[in-house]
């Protein structure tokens, strides 16, 4: 009887750990993917440097926390606008010309993808020369919280909740504001959007900046509980973001949210298994299965 009760307790704790642990990671992953999907959906720029904007957000938060004692939550109001402005600057100086001269969507995607290959090298080496290559982390609010027998860090729970809130706010913006309507119009019919007076170049810059902003916010929250962030961590999270939007569906906001949680659960379960080093292998195995069964993803159109 005692052994049976212990086994039930362990299984319950494991189940609770998976439910909440996967949701915590899913919230962060969704936020990164929403930014990438917004950039691609509106301007057809597949920004494979999205993970490096996450890294920039982490370093901005780390800098203000260590030098000025700024609360990482408060620093969201600093890291977000800084990376948002950088994203708009990059879009105007690098991608606007590519959009202007491209004669087809396929040509635009190819040229912009090639340009995006250069961005990680530039961003990573600039950050390395400023901050060095040592891993960083703030360990803010690192107390543990007991949830039905499973232990989680309070900063992870806070980051997940804020990630979900930010993603839902963005959904409301896209759904019920004029800016969101303009973005959706350009994503679905760019020529028609121009005919009714929408400035596609301004909306392209805004969407790219917002995508960078979301990634930076995810990085600012990630650095609260993850203390192994380096200048070269960006491509890792780019792969995660690509996995999410492939599973959820290119151009689908809801797909990014639900795909993020799907990948979050796969990631957490594999990380908690006997083969944590094969986590990405499990993630990409799921991608292959999804592509075979539903090539456009769960919510792809």
Q: How far is CA 113 from CA 55, 84, 110, in A?
A: 20, 20, 5
pLDDT at 105 over 80: no
Q: Record the tokens describing residue 127, joined without a space.
A: 């950050």
pLDDT digits (tens, 9 = 90+) for 243-273: 888 888 877 788 888 888 888 888 888 887 7
Written in H, E and C, the secondary structure of 8-53 is: HHHHHHHHHHHHHHHHHHHHHHHHHHHHHHHHHHHHCCCCCCHHHH
pLDDT digits (tens, 9 = 90+) for 184-237: 888 888 778 777 788 888 888 999 999 999 999 999 888 888 888 899 998 889
**Where are the domains positioned within the chain?**
32-241
pLDDT digits (tens, 9 = 90+) for 26-76: 888 888 888 888 888 888 888 888 999 999 999 999 999 888 888 888 888
Could you tell me the pTM of the whole model? 0.88
pLDDT at 160 over 80: yes
pLDDT at site 274 = 65
């Amino acid at each position: 009887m005692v052994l049976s009760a212990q086994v039930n307790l362990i299984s319950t704790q494991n189940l609770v750990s998976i439910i909440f642990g996967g949701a915590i990671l899913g919230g962060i992953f969704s936020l990164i993917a929403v930014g990438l999907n917004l950039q691609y959906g509106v301007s057809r720029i597949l920004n494979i440097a999205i993970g490096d904007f996450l890294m920039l957000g982490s370093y901005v938060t780390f800098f203000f926390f260590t030098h000025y004692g700024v609360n990482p939550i408060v620093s969201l109001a600093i890291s977000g606008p800084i990376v948002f402005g950088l994203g708009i600057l990059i879009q105007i100086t690098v991608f606007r010309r590519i959009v202007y001269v491209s004669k087809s969507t396929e040509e635009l995607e190819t040229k912009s993808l090639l340009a995006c290959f250069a961005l990680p090298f530039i961003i990573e080496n600039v950050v390395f020369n400023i901050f060095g290559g040592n891993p960083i982390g703030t360990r803010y609010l690192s107390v543990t919280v007991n949830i039905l027998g499973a232990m989680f860090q309070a900063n992870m729970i806070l980051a997940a909740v804020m990630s979900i809130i930010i993603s839902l706010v963005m959904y409301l913006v896209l759904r019920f504001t004029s800016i969101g309507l303009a973005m959706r119009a350009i994503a679905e019919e760019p020529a028609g959007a121009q005919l009714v007076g929408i400035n596609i170049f301004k909306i392209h810059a805004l969407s790219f900046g917002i995508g960078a902003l979301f990634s930076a916010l995810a990085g600012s929250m990630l650095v609260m509980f993850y203390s192994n962030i380096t200048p070269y961590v960006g491509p890792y999270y780019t792969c995660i973001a690509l996995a999410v939007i492939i599973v959820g569906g290119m151009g689908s906001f809801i797909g990014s949210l639900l795909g993020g949680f799907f990948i979050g659960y796969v990631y957490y379960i594999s990380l908690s298994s006997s083969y944590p080093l094969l986590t990405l292998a499990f993630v990409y195995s799921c991608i292959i299965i999804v592509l075979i069964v539903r090539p456009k993803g769960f919510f792809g159109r």
